[in-house]
Each structure stands twice: as C-alpha cells, then as structure tokens.
Chain A
Amino acid sequence: MTTLLEFAALGLGLGAVYIGLSTGLLLVYRATGIINFAQGAMAMWGAYVFARVQDDGELVLPIGTIWFPEPPGTAVALLVGLANAVVLGVLAHYLVFRPVRRAPALAQVVVSIGLMVALQALAVIRFGPNSIQVESILPTGSIELLGATVPLRELTMVAIMIVLAAAVWAYLRLTASGRATRAASENERGAVLMGFSPDRLALIALVLASLVSTMAVVMGGSLTGLSPANYTLLVVPALAVVLIARLESIGLAVAGAIGLGIIQSELSLLATRSWWPQWAQSGLDQVLPFLLVMIILFAFGKRLPARGSLQSVRLPDVVVPRFVPWKAALLVGIAVACLVFFTPSYRFGLTTSLIIAILALSYVVITGYLGQISLAQSAFAGAAGFALSKLTTAWDVPFPIAIVVCATLAAALGMLVALPAFRIRGVQLAIVTIAAALAIERFVFDNYSLTPPTGNPIGRPTLFGIDFAIREGRNLARLEFSLMVLAILVLMVLLFVRIARGDTGRAFLAVRANERAAASVGIDVRRTKLIGFGLSAFIAGVAGCLIGYSRGELSAESFSVVVGLSVLAVAYLGGITSFGGALVAGVLGPLGLVYTALHSVFDMGNAYPLITGIGLILTAVLNPSGIAGETRHQVEWVKRKLRSGRAAPPAAADAAPAPVPAEKPRETTGV
C-alpha cells in the first residue's frame, strides 16, 4: 500500500507536466481551432534555454550565443527561459499559425508538425542530441503521508501547475479577452462583429500557452532530464488529456492529467511484478494514452466541439492522374541510367529516394486523395518490415510473396486504424493516428521480447536464381536491388493511377470533399475509408519491406514516429495530391538523393530535418499544392500563354485551320 502511494506521488510529477502541456493545447485550441502538435517542442525550447543559463550562464539563441559574465542564478535563468517562451509564442503566432488560421485542417496539422520537427531539429543542433541534467528549482526533501515517504518536489510541482491552470481558467472565464476567446471559438464572425480581433486573441493565447507549458517542462526537466525527443513527444499523452477534457474544460484537463500521470506510474510498478507478462513490459506508458484516446473518441467523438470558422478555404487541388507511356518510359529510363552510372553512395541515395517515394505515395492516397490525416504510416511500414524479418528468417517465405504477405498484414492494420476514422476526421484523426503510431513504436518495435535487440535479420531476396540483395561482399549498393525497387515503385504508381482514375478514386475525392454529400449520392463512406486506409497501408507496408531489405536487418529507428512525420513533411512539400509529388518527396526525403548530394558537398550534420521542417511550414503557408502542384501550375500557365499566342491573329487562324494541333487534354501526369 505504501509503495502504491509512493508511486502515485512519483506520478504527480508526470501529471504536472501533462497539466502544463494540456492546458496550453486547450488554450491554443480554443483561440485558434488548431491543435498545436508542437506544444511540447515549444515548451522544451524554453526549458533548454533555462537549463543552460542556469548551468553555465550561456544564453543559447537559435543562431548565436550570449554569455552571461557568470551564471546568473536560478531566478534570472527562469526569467530568461520564460522570456524565450514568450518570444517563441509571438513568433509562432505571426509566422506559423496566423497564416493558416483559415486553412483546411490538414494544413493546420501540417504546420504544427513542421514546427515540431523544426524545433526538435534545432534543439539537436543547438543543445546536442543527448539528455542533459537540469538542476531543480523545487524544494528537495520529503514528508510522511499515511506511512509513505512522499517527495516534496512532486507535490510542489503539481501545486504550482494547478495554480497556473487555475490562472488560465480565470483568464477564460473572468476577463473580457477570455470571454471573447470562448465566444470566437464558437462563432468567429460573431466575435469580429462585436469588435474583437481573433488574431489578437490568438496571440494572447499562444503566449500564455507557451508560458504555462514551458513552466511545466522547466520543472519536469529537473526530474527526468531534457532531451530533444522526450518532451516533444510528451505532447501525445497530453493530447489524450485534452480529449478527456473534451477540448473545453480546464478542470477536467487537470484531473485527467493527474490521473494519467498516476496510472502510468502505477503501471510501471505493476510491470515489475513477477506475474506481469514479460512481453507486455515495454511502452506501456504510450499504450495507455492510445487506449484512452480510442475510448474517448469512440464514446464522445460526436460531441467534441468543432470550431465555427470564418470561412473555409479550398483543399489542395487534385488532378486526376493519367498514365502517359512516353513520359513514364522517359522517367524510368532516366532512373535506370542514373542507377547504372552512379557511384555506390549516390546509387544508395537514389534507391532510398525510390523507397521514400513509395512511402510518400501512401500519404498521397490517404491524405491527398481521401483527405484523412494519418500520422501512422511509418508504423504500418514498420509492422510490415518486422513481419518480413520473421517470415523470411523463421519460415523461409520466398521473396516476392513475402512482400505481398507483409504488406497485406500492414493493410489489415491500416483497416483497423480506419475504424476510428468512421466516426472522427480532421485533426482528431491525426491525434488518434499519432497515438497509435507511438503506441506501436514503443509497445512493438522497441519491445525486446517481440523484436530481439540482437537484431532482426532479413533473408536475401532471390527470384528465378537472381539475387536481389542490396549487399554482396564489399558492394554495398547492388544494381540488382535498385532495379528491383524501381520496378516495384513503377508497379505501385500504376496501381495508384489505376485506382485513382476509377470509381474508387472518384469516391475518395467525394469523401474528401464532403462525407455527407458523398453518402447522399450513394457512396459508402465507411467502405471507401476502409479501402483507402487498407490501400495506403499496403503501399506503406511495401515501402517498409523495401526499407528492411535495403538495411539487411531491421531496427526500430527506421520506423519511429519522427521518421513518419519527416516523410509526411517531404510528401507535403512535394505535393500531397499527386504521385508526382510523391516522386519529388522521394528525391527530397531523408537519406535520399538531395540529402546524399548535399552531404557530399558540405557536412550538414543535423540541419536536414530543420530544413524540411521549415520547408514544410513554408509549403503549408504559401503553397498548399506543393512543389509538384506548383510546377504543374507553371507548366499550365506556359501552355496557356503559348496557345493564346498562337491564336492571337484570329484572321490567320480562320484562314488556315489545318495546322492548329488538337488541344492537349488538361490532365497531366503531375510530374
């Protein structure tokens, strides 16, 4: 009993951090309608700044450093850290969130993920990838409570956070701005017409949220240490808490945060007992939030408040893809030539690009075409990859069949994730899928009883006596493997074009535009979503298998949530609505061709994710149809100019009708 109580007290520390993050998330959501996936990353930055100022008087800015003559003491350090939080909140408002306030949910999710990726990358560059210790600003010591020794630190921490959450509550309830924020979250136009500026309210909310969350991470960091990854991803359980609070109630958020913290702490205690199954020890802290999210969304999904926005903006353009044989042949020819003549390191880069293009294609299907925001594609890929390891080593399933079996398995997993998508959509689906991805990553990929740390080797792919493995002896990037990947990419694109042009593709687009309208013309929305999730997970699974083959053995890092998010970043950057965008994404993707080229010229170190994160924000803000879409617009524009130039002298056109060529169809391949 006393042990239970002591672990509950330990859980309070985590609960306090959840209070900070979830209060911030909730406030930003009320003021902007945006779920800020970067809430944890933003808070982490201020906490890092605090820790370094306190530790050695070094004020680290995104670029450059200011040294204090001597470490200025905890109070000043805390002020500096919180000042950073304010600045970050202001910048995030003006540069990131304000431009997309009226954009579709997808663009909003994407910018906040871009901000999260960029901040995390920046933290790695500026503060290093490893965990640092943070000196506690809280009292040490402990008190006796019901026979248990309860540390004072956690108690103080949770008390401070409750006070701060109460302050946020008071802001929303008792001040004019807070009341207007609540009003605007229900009817933004109504609030404008009563003389309130939603932009101003959003700015206040972002700054307050940043302050509260940073305070929580500053204190939490002293318990757990700070690393670029840990608090960034702590936003996921905080999202579960926000859903418990039904995106509305600060009181429920505080209760949920403390409850979740305590339960997680108790679970970690239970997991050490002898009767607890060994396979279920890893990643419990992430499985619980996921289960919570699922249950809440299933039970209350319909009653969660949606924001009444001023006006909705069109979704990114979709051009129905067309298979143009000569273009395809040209592209494949170029790719083959490159693969043949490239040096091994470039060949490996291009091969990685081809694989990422397949993974990005799965985003095109699910997000670009079906309009569902799935952040779990890397988990689908990973599931297929680990299954491949088992299948090829334990059961000797031959090469092409093994890929099909594993991708089908991923498709089944995707259809499972589609179940919540029956009831929810938009940003809520993004929350479910990122929670699912994190749960799968921690519970399955990082679980040593399922995926032994000694390695998950994958059998060599051979077909008709030809060995398609990536390595042989000292050759680390065999041409046979690259050609096999290219062939599979072509197959996947053909599959995509075939489906996107048919009835199913049209049903996807109808569901994307308006589910009710789609249902009213006889489209089975559930079936369509099921097909979409299955198909995209299948494609992701194929990519996962190829990632596995390209590494020779599997590691969980290849399929982490962060990898999935960075592929989403390049997929959006390339153009989320066309397979051309997926190809661009492949070229840009992590470890892909552009990466290899840049890396050989100068050492970028960890700058690449930072660049993709910023690129993602810029794309979402400036040009939602991505690079491929923009190129297509430019090509169309040039074509139009050429046509109108040709038709300029009307008399001549009348006189000589024959030489005018038939107009090209408007459809393009999207490349």
Chain B
Amino acid sequence: MDMQEQLRKIQEDAKQQIEKITDKAGLDALRLKMLGKKGDLTLLLRSMGQVPAEERPKVGQMINVVREHLTAQMDELDAKIKKMEQEKKLARESIDVTEPREHTAIGCVHPVSLVQDQLCKVFTGMGFDVVEGPEVELDLFNFELLNLPKNHPARDAQDTFYIEDNIVLRTHTSPVQARTMLSRKPPIRIVCPGRVYRADEVDATHSPVFHQMEGLVIDEDVTMADLKGTLDAFAKNLYGDDVTTRFRPSFFPFTEPSAEVDLTCVNCHGKGCRVCKGTGWIEVLGAGMVNPKVLDMCGIDSKKYSGFAFGVGLERIAMLRYGITDLRLFYEGDVRFLSQFRDD
C-alpha cells in the first residue's frame, strides 16, 4: 500500500470514528490514536524515509493537510461535546422553581403610619413642614389659646382626659399649632400628625386614642378659597382626580368661618352607596379660617395676617382607603390584619 493509499485509509477511518464519538473520552482516544506519539498519522510521518526523496515534499504536504483537517474536525467535535456535556449538566441541575421555602416576608408599618406617611408626602410637597408636639399637654395650648376658655360649652364636644386641672391628654393636635404660632413668625405652613385622646368608650367607630393630622397656614392674604384649593389638591392626590371637596358651614371655636369638608365618596365616586349612606359624599375633614382671636392670643397680628387650619382623622382615612369597618382592628395588633398592608 503506498503512502497515499494509507493516508486515504487513515482519513476514512478517522471520519467513521468521529461520527460515532459522543464523549470526551472517545475523542481523546481518537486524538491519541491519530495524532499521539504512536498515532497512525505520526507513524506514517515517521515512515517518510521510505518515500523517495523527490516525493517527500509532496507527501509531507499531503500528510500535513490531512493532519490539519483531522485536527480541525476533532476540535469541532470537542466543542460540540463540551456543549452537550454542559447541557447535560444543566439538565441535571434543574430545580423545581415552584418548591416553597421557609422565608421571612417583608413586614409593614401600621395602616395609620401608611396614611400618615402618604399625607406627609402630599403636604411636604406643597411646602408644609411636619411638626410634632407633646401628647400630654397644657390646657393653655390645648384649649385656651384656641379660643376654648375654661368652662366653654364647646369643650363638651371633646370629652377630655385630665392629668391635673391644667394638664390634659391633648384632644387634638391643634396645640402644636398654638406652639408653632408662638415660636415661629409667618409665613407658616405646617402639618401636625399625632396621637390624640378623647374620653370615648371603645366600639367599632370610637376609640379613646386615635390619630389626627392638622394643618395650619398663616400668611398675608390667605383666603378660604386657598383653603379649598389646598384641600382639593390633597383630595385629588390621595384619592384621584375625580375626587372633589364639598364645604358645609360648621362651628369650631378656633376657626371663623368654619366648615365641615366632605369628599366625593371614594367607594362609589359620588353615585351614592352604603359607605356614603347614599349621599355621594363622605365627611372627612374639619376646617376653617383661623379665628382672629386665636391669632392675636398666639402673638400674630390678625390685621396683617390671616390663615386657615384643617384637621383630619387618620383612622378615618385608613378605614375609607382600605375598607375597614371596625376601628378596634387598628389597636389589637393581630398579625393577620397587619400583614395585609403594603406601601403603594
């Protein structure tokens, strides 16, 4: 058999084997058989001495071509096998992605905090500072400076817990307003969220402890229309663009004129439903123009400055927002209730 014939046979042999090889070991064995020290091609090359000298370059070149060809084929096969093996490995490593694992879910703040945060965001966006004050408060700040002198019948509306004759559990967050007016100069734009206390027995709609947020704006030429504009913006921000406010005349000693403020029912969008008792409106805020007597008592010139104030119950907002019908749920702390909330 001449060299060319041998070469052709080696080539044919290799081709057949390559087609059969499916793993790295087989490939390595072939590589050894062909190109190893005692490999077919190597041996052939060593037997070049038997070839006549003038044919050697030609034969040598032929062998090299075959060798390169085989090497390329085996490299290609190598890549293919690696890929296959990786695919097999990946298949082996497949997991059940639906398998449940014990883990700790992210918690949440209390619904009253959710509402408070939301309101604070809305109002800080409108230039209001958030201010807090003590919960055990002087009668002076809670009542007297707000035009609720001792023994005024309007105090009856706020059944008050007393610590001493002149110290109360604040019945609203308004004392923070009084403190702010006494300590800051206009313009003033603040909201005061916080816990307040009224001597009400606990039931589905009453609680002796609840939360409020009150707002106060004092500047030159602040009007009732500004109050409406501010509360409209607040309502839209909180409940959506189709929500508006309705003002009804009311009475609060610290504001004049005063208003009860209704919002378009968030449940039925004003059509009338169980939540709004068919009226299309829900009572949410109390508001009004700060009584000039209050401004004067708090050291602000009522001839130069005017202002408005408003107050809203945070539980009330949360109840409307989340469809909660029993106030007691807020204070018993059952984790099954708390874990239903999330920021949104």
A and B: real partners? no
Instruction: Give B contacts to A, CB under 8 Å.
Output: none
Interface on A for B, CB 8 Å cutoff? Answer: none
